[in-house]
Amino acid sequence: MSTETKQDVAAEGGDTPMMIDRREAIRRVTALLGGIALVGGNALLTGCRDRSSPLGRDATFTAEDIVFLDEVADTILPETATPGAKAAKVGAFMALMVTDSYAARDQQAFRYGMRQLDEASIKEHDVGFVLATPAQRLALLERLDREQKTDSDAREAAKKAREGKTAQSDTGAATGDKHLSDQRKENATGAEATGAAAITKDPPAHFFRMMKELALLGYFTSEIGYTKAMRYIESPGRFDPCTPYTKGETSWASHA
Q: What is the pLDDT of residues 207-252, one digit of tens each?
A: 999 999 999 999 999 999 988 888 887 776 777 778 787 888 888 7
Which residue range(s) make up the domain with 133?
21-166+204-227
Looking at residue 59, what is its pLDDT?
53
Q: Categorize the per-residue pLDDT at 129 as very low, low, confident or very high, splitting at 50, 70 and 90.
A: very high
Looking at residue 102, what is its pLDDT?
92
- Whether 109 is in a domain gets the answer yes
Buried b (16+ CB within 10 A) or exposed e, 195-229: ebeeebeeebbbbbbbbbbbbbbbbbbbebbbebb
Looking at residue 250, what is its pLDDT?
83
Q: Categorize the per-residue pLDDT at 196 as very low, low, confident or very high, splitting at 50, 70 and 90.
A: very low
Rounded to an integer, what distance in angstroms lies between the CA atom of residue 180 and that of residue 188? 9
φ and ψ at residue 252, rounded to 5 degrees: -85, 140
- Whether 111 is in a domain gets the answer yes
Average pLDDT over all residues of the chain: 74
- Whether 172 is in a domain gets the answer no
- Whether 140 is in a domain gets the answer yes
Give pLDDT tens digits for 109-128. 999 999 999 999 999 999 99
Secondary structure letter of residue 58 according to DSSP: G
Query: How many other CB atoms are found less than 10 A from the CB of residue 184?
Result: 17
Residues 184/51/103/100 CA torsion (nearest 10 deg): 160
Rounded to an integer, what distance in angstroms lies between the CA atom of residue 76 and that of residue 71? 9
- Whether 181 is in a domain gets the answer no
- Whether 173 is in a domain gets the answer no
**Burial classification of residue 88, based on how many CB atoms lie within 10 Å of its CB (0-12 exposed, 13-18 middle, 19 or more buried):** buried
Looking at residue 174, what is its pLDDT?
47
Percentage of residues in the chain having pLDDT higher than 90: 43
- Which of 16-30, 176-190, 242-256: highest mean pLDDT? 242-256
H-type helices in the chain, by residue range? 3-11, 22-33, 43-49, 63-76, 90-101, 104-125, 134-172, 182-185, 191-200, 207-220, 223-224
Q: Categorize the per-residue pLDDT at 55 as very low, low, confident or very high, splitting at 50, 70 and 90.
A: very low
Residue partners of 58: CB distance under 8 A and separation at least 6: 107, 108, 111
Query: How many other CB atoms are found less than 10 A from the CB of residue 246?
Result: 5
Rounded to an integer, what distance in angstroms lies between the CA atom of residue 144 and that of residue 207? 9
Question: What pTM did the predictor assign?
Answer: 0.63
- Whether 97 is in a domain gets the answer yes
**Burial classification of residue 85, based on how many CB atoms lie within 10 Å of its CB (0-12 exposed, 13-18 middle, 19 or more buried):** buried
3-state secondary structure of 231: strand
Please give the span between the terminal C-alpha atoms of the chain, in angstroms, as a whole number: 23
Rounded to an integer, what distance in angstroms lies between the CA atom of residue 236 and that of residue 11? 32
Looking at residue 255, what is its pLDDT?
64
User: How many domains would you assign to the chain?
Assistant: 1
- Asked whether residue 51 carries a pLDDT value surpassing 90, the answer given is no
Cα separation values, 10 from 14, 16, 24, 28, 136, Å: 5, 5, 17, 20, 55
- Whether 149 is in a domain gets the answer yes
